A and B are shown apart, each in its own frame.
Chain A
């Protein structure tokens, strides 16, 4: 089963709804170890994105590119460039094809992760979104290699991302604003890892 531009746009709208729904949770998580704007910033960006999707671009890559430019120009903070870069690299990976299959989704997720790592320079274990995205990509690639479709690939990615996000709780942050807290950052769920897992779960929920 493959996804068209309209299906990708629908999935992105679902992401927006989930982000808005979890806005306060993300603000709370960020306030504990950061500055408390993560939920606000993402909600602002995805809300702006939904209004731009009144006119859906003609290809899945076009939708992802629109998401990237909108997030970069409306989110701010560290999340703007990081989520923006993730979507931009995914768009480039997908290219101009009319629909994407499971293998293309896994490749797009890999490209997104590489982009996030290049821009944010975080590694596994730094208590960032990379801790959610890295296992998600591995799971997605494994399912895609076995011939899984878009829904299976994204479902596996979301499961792995949730476990990866949970794994950030005991970590001491080494990147971003939470790193200033040193040992005090341990015992808290990383807001960027949490939002990454939420985004993937929302995408998986819409994939057919």
Chain B
């Protein structure tokens, strides 16, 4: 394992120190427990939008803290959900008197820890919205349900914009549930990633193999299949996404083409172009796009596609100003 680290046990804190220095104008980082907070928090009478999860998915979530998006992020250990104290500290630090909305990706650890935190919150109206947009996972009585993946980025942006405009907690919660009901994702991996404390890759793939239907933690996917052309890869992600909701002719969508960390932009743009072409062939209108590494799995090569069915309000909130380390426009 070759990585730019000193000690696997202190990777997250060491990274947070650098992040705090790099974005001192936007972020206030506290370390015990670890919470990344927007510099001007708490914002009076504004709903606090809080998320978090394991580290290793940068820029998610700390990179999305700032005006128009998250009020705080709780970074857990690498690929490990944060603890309830972190979430409780984030709620206390950002409480502007209008309550808090917790955005939780559907992974067992995240749900359990945020649930426990909600019970610890003292005197703050805390609501939780669980996102489960990954179509690779069967949602049934026999699984933990679909995972929360790429749709999380879009959810945080849209709900963050609503909260910034002064939408109340009921309104933010309803909007969040609407976004969750209209967003779907799927990902693939060309290589595994190496978690610092594990020291070796989470799985091994032959040169001609890929994992289809991965989550964001280096866990194996649903199936191991032969690597095909870029056209075939994009189709293998897009088809199940479009069939699931389903998306159909005339739908207006936001298309999010995401790198898992190790795939360079040249390949990502190539894939994005293919995805747009395939959507156009089906009469689906791409109204907004996001392309880049926004929810990653360390250095894993691979990509995910996320499609959100837009309405006018979501378009307006997507376009609203955002000023965070990783997303910035309109300011």
Write the residues of chain A forming the contact surface with B, with a CB cutoff of 8 angstroms.
Answer: 27, 31, 34-37, 40-41, 44, 72-82, 84, 119-120, 172, 174-177, 179-182, 184
Whether B197 sits at the interface, judged by CB under 8 Å, is: yes
Least CB distance, A168 to chain B, in whole angstroms: 15
Whether B195 lies near A37 (C-beta < 8 A) is yes
Interface SS of chain B: loop
* Chain B minimum-CB-distance residue to A69: B85
Complex Cα–Cα for A184 and B113 (A)? 27
A sample of 11 cross-chain residue pairs with beta-carbon separation below 8 angstroms, ordered by A number, consists of: A31-B202, A35-B79, A37-B197, A40-B80, A72-B116, A76-B54, A78-B108, A80-B109, A80-B112, A80-B113, A182-B222
Least CB distance, A63 to chain B, in whole angstroms: 20
Whether B198 lies near A174 (C-beta < 8 A) is no
Whether B108 lies near A76 (C-beta < 8 A) is no
Whether A35 lies near B116 (C-beta < 8 A) is no
Whether A35 lies near B138 (C-beta < 8 A) is no
- Collect the chain B residues with CB atoms within 8 Å of residue A74's CB: 83
Whether A80 lies near B144 (C-beta < 8 A) is no
- Collect the chain A residues with CB atoms within 8 Å of residue B202's CB: 31, 35-36
Whether B144 lies near A177 (C-beta < 8 A) is yes
Extra contacts besides A76-B113, A182-B222 (14): CB < 8 Å = A35-B79, A35-B202, A37-B77, A37-B195, A41-B80, A76-B80, A77-B81, A77-B113, A79-B109, A177-B107, A177-B108, A180-B143, A180-B219, A184-B220
Nearest first, the 5 closest Cβ-Cβ pairs linking A and B are A81-B112, A77-B109, A78-B109, A179-B143, A35-B217
* Chain B minimum-CB-distance residue to A30: B198
Least CB distance, A94 to chain B, in whole angstroms: 21
Whether B33 lies near A73 (C-beta < 8 A) is yes
Whether B215 sits at the interface, judged by CB under 8 Å, is: yes
Whether B76 sits at the interface, judged by CB under 8 Å, is: yes
Assuming A76-B76, A174-B142, A180-B137, is B197 touching A27 (CB within 8 A)?
yes
* Chain A minimum-CB-distance residue to B192: A31
Whether B83 lies near A176 (C-beta < 8 A) is no
Of A36, A75, A174, A184, most buried by chain B (CB within 10 Å of CB) is A36
Least CB distance, A50 to chain B, in whole angstroms: 15
Whether B218 sits at the interface, judged by CB under 8 Å, is: yes
8 Å CB contact of B219 from A34, A78, A81: A34
- Collect the chain B residues with CB atoms within 8 Å of residue A41's CB: 77, 80
8 Å CB contact of B198 from A36, A172, A175, A180: A36
* Chain A minimum-CB-distance residue to B220: A181
Whether A40 lies near B77 (C-beta < 8 A) is yes
Least CB distance, A74 to chain B, in whole angstroms: 7
Whether B113 lies near A81 (C-beta < 8 A) is yes
Whether B82 sits at the interface, judged by CB under 8 Å, is: yes
8 Å CB contact of B79 from A37, A44, A79: A37
Whether B61 sits at the interface, judged by CB under 8 Å, is: no
Whether B147 sits at the interface, judged by CB under 8 Å, is: yes
8 Å CB contact of B195 from A36, A79, A80, A184: A36
Least CB distance, B147 to chain A, in whole angstroms: 7
- Collect the chain B residues with CB atoms within 8 Å of residue A82's CB: 112
Residues of B142-178 at the interface with A, using a CB-CB cut-off of 8 Å, are: 142-144, 147
Whether B84 lies near A81 (C-beta < 8 A) is yes
Whether B197 lies near A76 (C-beta < 8 A) is no
- Collect the chain B residues with CB atoms within 8 Å of residue A174's CB: 141-143
